[in-house]
Structure 1
Amino acid sequence: MKEEKRDIFKIINRRYEHFSKSQKLIADYIIENYDKAAFMTASKLGEHVGISESTIVRFADALDFKGYPELQKALQELIKTKLTTVQRFELTNKYSNEMNTVKKVMDSDIQNIRKTMEELDKDVLEKVANEILCAKRVYILGLRSSAVLAEYLGFYLNFILKDVHVVKAQYNDVYEQLININSEDVVIALSFPRYSRKTYESVRLLRRQGCKIISITDSQFSPLASISEMTLFAKNNVTSFVDSLVAPMSLINLLIVSISLQEKELLTETFRKLENVWEEFNIYSKT
């Protein structure tokens, strides 16, 4: 499915007058209940609309989706940005009675990691690692829930690189921390649904300053993907009001290891010195 066709509402509205009676029933239900339909099987959706499962599958084909699973995925992508936190939480409550919540959440995280691994572009990963190593300074920008990822990445890159800065939203205005970034620097921007507008606007500013932009986000439809030189993708399906950062964290671990493998000797010496300091000041418990 092409990018311009990703908004299922636009597809339905454009083709509605040519639908059969059954197709119009499906379309009406999806438009009015897209948050529920996104998590229904074709069979379950057919029960709610009052038509057969095969008709649901044919409806997906009529919209040029490659089967019902792709239509369902389009609905799930839609609710990532359209659902408020309250609506996400209500959705969790509604479906928690129908399935084992613990299993559902953990299975979703496992699936996100698996899909991230399967779709990973190793050439892009290698190029990203090289750009970071060659940069004069590295800035890491992640706001709201993505701030956790930014801090984690910054913590470990500081062991490997000499000049790493994590942009702190709570200290002063974000833009003030970015104003001196130039073409010798690399910015790693992280953003996942619901995407932070300030992250997007900050990256637009940074592009004008000539620095290289590397983004870590969830899909090619993310606002950051179209304005970054290189992008690494990590899946994060919606299962609750919580933003699942398990797959993004796994991808960041991979990036850190990829960079560290190119700086083995330096890193070995760094950790040798640090171990002496940690032992002298009892940084870690020995019990």
Structure 2
Amino acid sequence: MQDAHAHPVIKGIVKQLESLTPKGKLLGNYIIQNPRKAVFMTTKELAEACGVSEATVVRFVGQLGYSGYGEFLQALRDFVDSGLSLPDRVDLPGMKGPGTDLLHRVVFEEMTNLRQFYETIDMKRLADIVDRIEKSPAVYVIGSRISYTFAYYLGWSLTKVRKGVNILKGSDSTTIDWLTGAPEESLVIIITTSRYPNELIRMGKVARRLGHTLLVVTDSRLCPVIPFAHQSLVVPSRSIALIGYPTTISCIINYLVLELVNRQPPHLKAHQEKLEQMYLENDILFNMHGD
């Protein structure tokens, strides 16, 4: 794992360590030395591992500035997730077991992530994002590796409700050409999930250098593209996945597109009628009533 002390959650513990009580120091040192174990522990399990009370654990996370143990675990989860290799992930608790147990685990974790998002989402931020997508002269959606799946889904969906949408691959150097020739004040949307390809960090820098508006959709506040963004939408997950959790980001994409439709922009009907005519003329989609 990368230098632990460079990350906010561990840095916060190190900074507070000398001012903690003896029992607080036990907790702090245990977490610093065993973050991959601690991230899966309940307050009871962490208390037992360190020989302290659950109340001490609660006071400990409060002294670190977290509103509760859940918020602390989320921060620790983001730190641990950012440094895990594929072999590390395969060895995580819960990754192995009978098929039905794994299915239940996957479904439960996706439901948990959706519930967390639903309960914490800032609707004003979502509305601002829809405004940007609606009013920007052009939209460039960029992804790489697994996040290209989301980028393509968002970009393809947006083509059904507005013109000027471009889907780009972060791994393709011609993306720089597209961004360089983009209209002024274009919106660049970078979707990136752990483990954050360096090429998307580079594209974030390029977008800012060219004066475009940059929106980053990601799964952690530690995402290295966020510092370049004008606006970010963080969609955290409670668990650490082998590859990723797609459900919440997919739901956000669906919402953004539906909200654009609900606003009934004046060009929408004409745009969609033209698309349908092209589909028909070029025999793109199955037509039950066709010849």
Is the TM value for this pair above 0.5?
yes
Q: Take 1:60 and 1:96, find their aligned partners in 2: how far apart are those partners?
A: 32
Question: Would the aligned equivalents of 2:77 and 2:238 in 1 still touch at CA under 8 Å?
Answer: yes
Q: 1:177 to 1:165 in 2, by over 3 A?
A: same
- Secondary structure at 2:79 match in 1: helix
Q: Take 2:125 and 2:195, find their aligned partners in 1: how far apart are those partners?
A: 25
The residue identity in structure 2 corresponding to 1:253 is N
State the match for 1:203 in structure 2: 204
Q: Take 1:63 and 1:133, find their aligned partners in 2: how far apart are those partners?
A: 41
The reply on whether 1:238 has 2:242 as its aligned counterpart is: no
State the structure with bigger RCO (CA 8 A, min sep 6), 1 or 2: 1
TM-score, reference length from structure 1? 0.84
Alignment of 1:240-255 (within 5 A): 240-255=241-256
The reply on whether 1:228 has 2:232 as its aligned counterpart is: no
Q: Give the CA deviation at 1:6.
A: 7.4
Equivalences, count: 280
The residue identity in structure 1 corresponding to 2:80 is I
Question: Would the aligned equivalents of 1:140 and 1:187 in 2 still touch at CA under 8 Å?
Answer: yes
Q: Take 2:14 and 2:53, find their aligned partners in 1: how far apart are those partners?
A: 23
The range that moved more, 197-206 or 221-230, is: 221-230
Q: Which 5+ residue runs of structure 2 have no aligned equivalent?
A: 1-5
Regions of 4+ moved over 6 Å: none
Question: Would the aligned equivalents of 1:260 and 1:267 in 2 still touch at CA under 8 Å?
Answer: no
Q: Take 1:137 and 1:199, find their aligned partners in 2: how far apart are those partners?
A: 19
The reply on whether 1:27 has 2:25 as its aligned counterpart is: no
The residue identity in structure 2 corresponding to 1:198 is E
Q: 1:274 to 1:72 in 2, by over 3 A?
A: same
The range that moved more, 135-144 or 87-96, is: 87-96
Q: Take 2:95 and 2:247, find their aligned partners in 1: how far apart are those partners?
A: 24
Q: 1:248 to 1:134 in 2, by over 3 A?
A: same
Q: Take 1:43 and 1:247, find their aligned partners in 2: how far apart are those partners?
A: 30
State the match for 1:75 in structure 2: 76
Q: 1:197 to 1:282 in 2, by over 3 A?
A: closer
Q: 1:205 to 1:169 in 2, by over 3 A?
A: closer
Q: Deviations over 1:153-204 (max 9, x none)?
A: 1111122222221112465554344332242422111122222222122121
State the match for 1:186 in structure 2: 187
State the match for 1:39 in structure 2: 40
Q: 1:274 to 1:114 in 2, by over 3 A?
A: farther
Q: Give the CA deviation at 1:29.
A: 1.6
The reply on whether 1:273 has 2:239 as its aligned counterpart is: no
- Secondary structure at 1:91 match in 2: coil
Q: 1:68 to 1:123 in 2, by over 3 A?
A: closer
- Secondary structure at 1:203 match in 2: helix
- Secondary structure at 1:29 match in 2: helix
Structure with bigger helix share is 1
Question: Would the aligned equivalents of 2:90 and 2:242 in 1 still touch at CA under 8 Å?
Answer: yes
Question: Would the aligned equivalents of 2:170 and 2:200 in 1 still touch at CA under 8 Å?
Answer: no
The residue identity in structure 2 corresponding to 1:165 is N
State the match for 2:19 in structure 1: 18
Q: Deviations over 1:85-137 (max 9, x none)?
A: 2222211457869x944333222211222222333333333332232233332
Alignment of 1:1-287 (within 5 A): 7-92=8-93, 100-169=101-170, 172-261=173-262, 262-263=264-265, 264-266=268-270, 268-270=272-274, 272-273=276-277, 276-277=280-281, 280=283, 283=286
Question: Would the aligned equivalents of 1:213 and 1:229 in 2 still touch at CA under 8 Å?
Answer: yes
The alignment's C-alpha RMSD in Å is: 2.9
The range that moved more, 14-23 or 104-113, is: 14-23
The residue identity in structure 2 corresponding to 1:20 is T
User: Percent identity among equivalent residues?
Assistant: 25
Q: Which 5+ residue runs of structure 1 have no aligned equivalent?
A: none
Q: 1:182 to 1:56 in 2, by over 3 A?
A: same
Question: Would the aligned equivalents of 1:159 and 1:270 in 2 still touch at CA under 8 Å?
Answer: no
